[in-house]
Amino acid sequence: MADFVTMSTGGFPLGLDWSKNPESIPDGALVQAENTEYDHADGALRTVAGVTIKLDVGMTIDTLFYDHRHSVFYFSSGTSLYRTDLATYTALGALEGASRPVYCRYGEVCLVASGGLLQSIVGGTVLSTLIGSPPVSHYVTSRAGRVIAFSTASDIVNYSAIGDHTSWTNVSSDTSSAQFVNVGYKDPGNIIAIDFLSKVMVVYKQYGRAYKIISAPEDTTNFAVEPVSETASCLSMFATVNIDGYSLYLGQAGLMAFIPTQDYGDVAPREVGLNINAWIAKNIDSNCQLWHVQSKKQIWVKTQNDKRVYLYHYIPRYDDGRGAFTVRSFTHDISDVCEVGSDVYVAYGGKISILNMLVDTDDGVQLQTVIKGANRLAKKHAILIMSKLLITRNIIAGYGTLTIGKKSRTVTFSASGQKIYFNTAKLYSSALRLYSSAYTRYYKVSGGSNKSVQITLIVPKGAVAIRQLDYDYLEV
């Protein structure tokens, strides 16, 4: 009799692959990865962290920002700006404009752009308007000691004087004074977004045009504005992120990037989201956003106003430098994300929440993990499954259903007890569980004859990390 063949998923390290049909993707790829992520420390595919509510403000939260210097959160609702310590919140005042605000820490202050004059928050408590700043600023950031602002209704990038966020007057004889740069003069379209990449600033404009601003205005030797693309369709000022030498942007073609080359100030395009870009292109609008979640080594990709976020993992990554994708669905439509150390805060549904690995719910709603692999068709008459093996590390106790081919089995994910002797931690008023992670090893001989075989693991309760998922089979 012929030897059995082992189909090993390798723990599904390749993530989602929607670029091909389920019968053509590799064994390590997925067609469904709902509420899963990769642990950047060991590369394991696992259930995402749950969500715990920290503060319910009872109104729509449009943006959320943490001021590390003053240890306070700012959030906006409509044209009003607030501060909070997550116990209570107080109003700071009205925004100068009506657009979604952008924040930028600069020295001792936090700058805010909302479509009018720039504003500053001093000491984490006082909101004031910067008279003399550009009259319409939708975006603000800083680089090399200058504040940089632009309006999405023009093609001009404004620079403050070096070291002074209040000085916006140009002095022709002083290169350190305020400057402005006309990007793509007389070409169609206005500025949509900017991002930084090595020695250049990438400027994304309407109709797919992109430019690079090399160096800074005071560098009269190297300063230049040059076109880099006519197909870089970035849809939102909130849809660019710079990580690991890449300037990523989200647009009609999906998740794309510019990367630096060996030539000074030169950049080249790259299709980062190759495996899911065809899907993104059909499900994207101007509400799209990117968030860099550094503690998880992830880029969160929101393509439209819904509850789904695609998780792009830049660690671990493929041999060609690209990362894997998974998906998570929130209970509410998220509006913003920010980090404080290793803690990830999410603004959604009028609430400020925090990711929490100790729970498997999202605002009280049970999370469900769904993992589905490639569909393998019989090359001869049938695929005869001889045995199957699942090994998981259990983060939170629960249960699930493993389906391989036409046979399904219920699997219990237990958690072992934690030792409490010699432990001086108080047990009362503690939210910590009294058990630690455990492992489940599920091995089953037989699986029957199948015309096609697809692995599906559904975990409606609990949280697990995949360590091994294989099956032995014979073509008959």
Whether the CB-CB separation of 191 and 204 falls below 8 Å is answered with yes
Q: Looking at residue 244, what is its pLDDT?
A: 77
51-358, CATH topology level:
Methylamine Dehydrogenase; Chain H (2.130.10)
Q: Looking at residue 437, what is its pLDDT?
A: 54
Check pLDDT > 90 for residue 320: no
Q: Looking at residue 350, what is its pLDDT?
A: 95
Whether the CB-CB separation of 218 and 256 falls below 8 Å is answered with no
Looking at per-residue confidence, does 418 or 381 come out higher? 381
Domain 5-48+370-475 has CATH 2.60.120: yes
Q: How far from 169 is each of 112, 117, 166, 176, 434, CA to CA, in Å?
A: 19, 14, 9, 11, 62
Shared fold status for 5-48+370-475 and 51-358: no
Q: Looking at residue 425, what is its pLDDT?
A: 52
Q: Looking at residue 417, what is its pLDDT?
A: 54
The pTM (predicted TM-score) of the whole model is 0.93
What CA–CA distance (Å, rounded) separates 302 from 241? 13
Q: Looking at residue 151, what is its pLDDT?
A: 98
Q: Hey, what amino acid is at 145?
A: G
Which range in 73-87, 222-236, 237-251 is most confidently predicted, on average pLDDT? 73-87
* pLDDT tens column, 105-114: 999 999 999 9
Give bridge partners of residue 150 from the DSSP assignment. Answer: 139, 157
Residue in the structure block whose two tokens are 């001086």: 424
Q: Looking at residue 242, what is its pLDDT?
A: 92
Give bridge partners of residue 227 from the DSSP assignment. Answer: 211
What CA–CA distance (Å, rounded) separates 330 from 162? 42
What CA–CA distance (Å, rounded) separates 356 from 65? 19
Whether the CB-CB separation of 237 and 249 falls below 8 Å is answered with no
* Domain range summary for the chain, segments of one domain joined by +: 5-48+370-475, 51-358
* pLDDT tens column, 186-221: 898 999 999 998 789 999 999 999 999 999 888 888
- Of the given ranges (24-38, 45-59, 443-457), which has the lowest mean pLDDT? 443-457
Q: Looking at residue 197, what is its pLDDT?
A: 87
What HEC string does 291-352 produce? EEEHHHCEEEEECCCCCEEEEEEEEEECCCCCEEEEEEECCCCEEEEEEECCEEEEEECCEE
Q: Please provide the average confidence, as pLDDT, over all residues in the chain.
A: 93
Q: Looking at residue 415, what is its pLDDT?
A: 82
* Paired tokens of 196: 């930084």
What CA–CA distance (Å, rounded) separates 59 from 163? 37
Q: Looking at residue 305, what is its pLDDT?
A: 87
Taking 3-state DSSP, the helix, strand and coil percentages for the chain, each rounded to the nearest 5, stand at: 5, 55, 45
Which of helix, strand or coil describes residue 445? strand
* pLDDT tens column, 295-317: 999 999 999 988 999 999 999 88
Say how many Å lie between the first and final Cα of the chain, rounded: 10
Kindly indicate the confidence band of residue 422, based on its pLDDT and cuts at 50, 70 and 90. very low
Q: Looking at residue 210, what is its pLDDT?
A: 95
Whether the CB-CB separation of 7 and 473 falls below 8 Å is answered with yes
Residue in the structure block whose two tokens are 């993104």: 280
Average pLDDT over residues 435-448: 81
Check pLDDT > 60 for residue 126: yes
Length of the chain: 476
Check pLDDT > 60 for residue 282: yes
Whether the CB-CB separation of 371 and 33 falls below 8 Å is answered with yes
CB-count exposure of residue 253 (10 Å: 0-12, 13-18, 19+): buried
Q: Looking at residue 265, what is its pLDDT?
A: 55
Whether the CB-CB separation of 130 and 118 falls below 8 Å is answered with yes
Average pLDDT over residues 451-476: 96
